[in-house]
């Protein structure tokens, strides 16, 4: 038996283990250490299932959303995590991530590489209901960790309400925006987010 396909798949699986070493700026609730991308992706996939009733589309393909969320940050193995509020780092983010997508996804057999790339491109474009919902959750999760963790990441980086609102506004596409706006206002009142 020839194991070429399986070897490619295993090679990809081993490579993406590196996602556990890509640390984000968001702090975990329990111990205030920085969250890694693998933890973030797991958290998002569970959120996608639990919060599906708040997606704007009624006939949402939740499995497609879960797949997108599982692959959306794999490019950060090469490109690194780009902090949401770092304008300078965002200048070449797309270029870095596209290069990473080419290398990492092409470790897979060609049919799977194409499928993973399509999912990643769909997530990035935010043109489908599934991608808009997935992207909204990607923004919601760090907001929740900041809200329930005393504003840890926000305070560490001096983030203001205006920055949080501007960066996360596309959440209104997934019917989560009203909740987030209320909670952000409460965070300002509680002193965990600067006006």
- Model pLDDT, residue 176: 85
CATH superfamily to which 4-190 belongs: Hypothetical protein af1432 (1.10.3210.10)
pTM: 0.93
- Model pLDDT, residue 31: 86
Q: Kindly give the confidence (pLDDT) of every residue in the chain, 195 residues in length, as a single tens digit, with 9 standing for 90 and above.
A: 679 999 999 999 999 999 999 999 999 998 889 999 999 999 999 999 999 998 877 789 999 999 999 999 999 999 999 998 988 989 999 999 999 999 999 999 999 999 999 999 999 999 999 999 999 999 999 999 999 999 888 998 999 999 999 999 888 766 788 899 999 999 999 999 988
Among 191, 173, 177, 174, smallest CA distance to 143 is for 177
- Model pLDDT, residue 127: 94
Give me the residues paired with residue 36 across strands: 23
Going from N- to C-terminal start, the domains of the chain cover: 4-190
- Model pLDDT, residue 171: 84
């Amino acid at each position: 038996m020839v194991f070429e396909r399986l070897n490619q798949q295993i090679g990809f699986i081993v490579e993406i283990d590196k996602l556990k070493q890509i640390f984000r700026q968001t702090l975990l609730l329990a111990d205030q250490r920085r969250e890694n991308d693998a933890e973030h992706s797991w958290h998002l996939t569970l959120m996608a299932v639990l919060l599906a009733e708040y997606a704007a589309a009624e006939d949402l393909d939740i499995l497609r959303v879960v797949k997108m969320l599982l692959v959306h940050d794999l490019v950060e193995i090469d490109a690194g995590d780009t902090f949401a509020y770092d304008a300078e780092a965002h200048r070449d983010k797309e270029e870095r991530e596209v290069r990473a997508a080419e290398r990492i996804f092409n470790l897979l057999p060609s049919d799977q590489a194409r499928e993973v790339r399509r999912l990643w491109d769909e997530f990035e474009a935010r043109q489908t209901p599934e991608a808009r919902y997935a992207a909204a959750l990607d923004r919601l999760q760090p907001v929740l960790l900041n809200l329930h963790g005393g504003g840890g990441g926000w305070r560490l980086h001096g983030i203001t309400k205006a920055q949080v609102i501007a960066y996360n506004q596309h959440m209104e596409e997934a019917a989560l925006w009203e909740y987030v706006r209320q909670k952000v206002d409460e965070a300002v009142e509680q002193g965990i987010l600067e006006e």
